[in-house]
Amino acid sequence: MTIKADYLVVGSGAMGMAFTDTLIKETDATVAIVDKHGKPGGHWNDAYPFVRLHQPSAFYGVNSLNLGNDQIDQTGWNEGLYELASGAEVCAYFDHVMQRIFLPSRRVQYFPMSEHLGDGKIRSLVSGQMSKVAAHKTVDASYMNVKVPSVRGPLYDIDDGVACVALNELPKISRPAAGYVVIGAGKTGMDACLWLLSNGVDPDSITWIMPRDSWMLDRANIQPGEKFANSIVTGTIRQMEAIAESSSVDELFDKVNACGQLLRLSDDVRPSMYRCATVTRAELAQLQRITNIVRKGRVTHISGDTIQLEKGSEPTSAAHLHIDCSADALERRPILPVFDGDHICLQSVRTCQQVFSAAFIAHIEASETDEAIKNQLCTVVPHPNSDIDFLRTTLANTLNAAAWAQKPDLQKWLANARLDGFTPAPGTRQPAGAMPQETMSRFAQVAMPAVGNLQKLLGEIS
Ligand SMILES: Cc1cc2nc3c(=O)[nH]c(=O)nc-3n(C[C@H](O)[C@H](O)[C@H](O)COP(=O)(O)OP(=O)(O)OC[C@H]3O[C@@H](n4cnc5c(N)ncnc54)[C@H](O)[C@@H]3O)c2cc1C
């Protein structure tokens, strides 16, 4: 069978969906979407049952449809901040977008349970039928290679009889374990700890294996709307000033930490990881109740009585439950050009804002013709991993924002893009971080010295 479409989009995860939504709104193009999953939403289909967005729903999903009701949570550890969709809500939302918007447009064909083998060849995972998508352009919406623990098991050895589960299994617990060992200190590990604590587990019953401490973002600084605009802008300006004034990397982190833009678990340990993990102050206070933190590197082997790590060991027992949170959800991928002839590779153009990035790339595809200009506007900001990546992504983000600010049409698009939680909105809609003119000028004044200092500090490292 040959399927004809202008674009073949490989992946109906959040990025493939956000790209397609903007593309079909801004052009007459037809699209064929192929995905191995049976439903749109990508890794959200495999995530643990208690997962929620780490950022407000207000700027997640696709540009053309709100996710959630823009409500402020009245209870819980996210109290006072904008709502976070659950994994189930995210999946239902993307299913709605596919069934109620994309397919009725008659410009999108959807091939779930189908694997793209390359060159437009697809194979149904159910019937085995082979088809060919004859498209003018192929959009790789799978390049970010997101891996959640349920689909990527642990890389360490586990002896028979040791209870070690992905955190998807936690809600199935039917009797208390002798203790809980959370393996991994990224956002997934934090979510596992918070779930245990929210279910009344004594913090002293939790052992947290933390190969690296993490710099964290405060969710109060990642909020849409006027209610938060002033504090967010003031915080960002303070961060830029702190970056500009620092004469070393350590000083930079100390200053950015002191002005509340980056958080850490312990004042005594300098984090070496930065991956955009996002928490509230209330969640951080909960995590700080856990004192049995093991900083001895990665787990290599778990036996009935010992957890072997790269730099030591730790006692355990067959009655302990080990919770694997070690999957590298978002690894740092090599940078590829976003636009390369008839191939588009979706990557982040704003740090840790993948869906915004996918919609932005679609807009650039729809509005620009020159490939060099397209790639310049879509300079990739790869997913961070180490502490130094905080400097790299802040620099790349600021340079992209400066390039976009030169183009009034782009500013207008950004101001009306619901996925853009950050760009000030002169005139048109007043969403996100709408800033008065004098604040914008102040922002421009502090950004350039910060850029200069980031380039200097990064130059000294390399
Ligand atoms: C727990 C968790 C919480 C997160 N919270 C947020 C948040 O609050 N805000 C935020 O911005 N980001 C968040 N993220 C980041 C998140 O990864 C992105 O928001 C986004 O979901 C990534 O989507 P994607 O389309 O790049 O990848 P995926 O969801 O992995 O989708 C890729 C799709 O491609 C398909 N595919 C791959 N190869 C093939 C092939 N050969 N043939 C056919 N199909 C193929 C896969 O089946 C998959 O469905 C979170 C991530 C995790 C793990």
> Do 57 and 117 sit in the same domain of this protein?
yes
Range of 251's domain? 225-263+386-462
> Do 452 and 394 sit in the same domain of this protein?
yes
Closest CA to 244 of 400, 423, 442: 442
Looking at residue 77, which CATH number applies to its domain? Answer: 3.50.50.60
Residue-averaged pLDDT of the chain = 93
> Do 318 and 335 sit in the same domain of this protein?
no
> Do 124 and 232 sit in the same domain of this protein?
no
CA of 181 to the centre of ligand 1 (A): 27
Which ligand 1 atom is nearest residue 37's CA? 47
Measured between alpha carbons, how far is 440 from 402 in angstroms, rounded to an integer?
A: 12
Residues 52-87: pLDDT tens digits?
999 999 999 999 999 999 899 999 999 999 999 999
Looking at residue 436, its pLDDT comes to: 61
The 3-state DSSP class for residue 377 equals: helix
Which ligand 1 atom is nearest residue 55's CA? 8
CA of 329 to the centre of ligand 1 (A): 9
Q: Which amino acid is at 95?
A: D
Residue 287 predicted with pLDDT over 60: yes
> Do 152 and 187 sit in the same domain of this protein?
yes
Where is the domain boundary, 343, 371, 399? 371
Which ligand 1 atom is nearest residue 117's CA? 41
Q: How confident is the model at residue 207 (pLDDT cuts 50, 70, 90)?
A: very high
> Do 86 and 63 sit in the same domain of this protein?
yes
**272 in a structural domain:** no
> Do 129 and 7 sit in the same domain of this protein?
yes
Tell the residue nearest (CA) to atom 34 of ligand 1. 11
Count of domains forming the chain: 3
**409 in a structural domain:** yes
**273 in a structural domain:** no
Residues in the ligand 1 pocket, defined by CB under 6 Å: 10-16, 34-37, 42-43, 47, 51, 53-55, 60, 115-116, 141-142, 144, 146, 148, 329-330, 353-355
CA of 279 to the centre of ligand 1 (A): 20
**pTM score of the predicted model:** 0.95
> Do 205 and 296 sit in the same domain of this protein?
yes
Question: Token pair for residue 243?
Answer: 């970056």
Where is the domain boundary, 341, 371, 401? 371
Measured between alpha carbons, how far is 43 from 150 in angstroms, rounded to an integer?
A: 10
Tell the residue nearest (CA) to atom 23 of ligand 1. 14
**341 in a structural domain:** yes
> Do 32 and 140 sit in the same domain of this protein?
yes
Residues 219-251: pLDDT tens digits?
999 998 878 888 888 888 999 999 999 999 999
Question: Beta partners for 182?
Answer: 208, 323
Q: Mean pLDDT across the stretch 103-117? A: 98
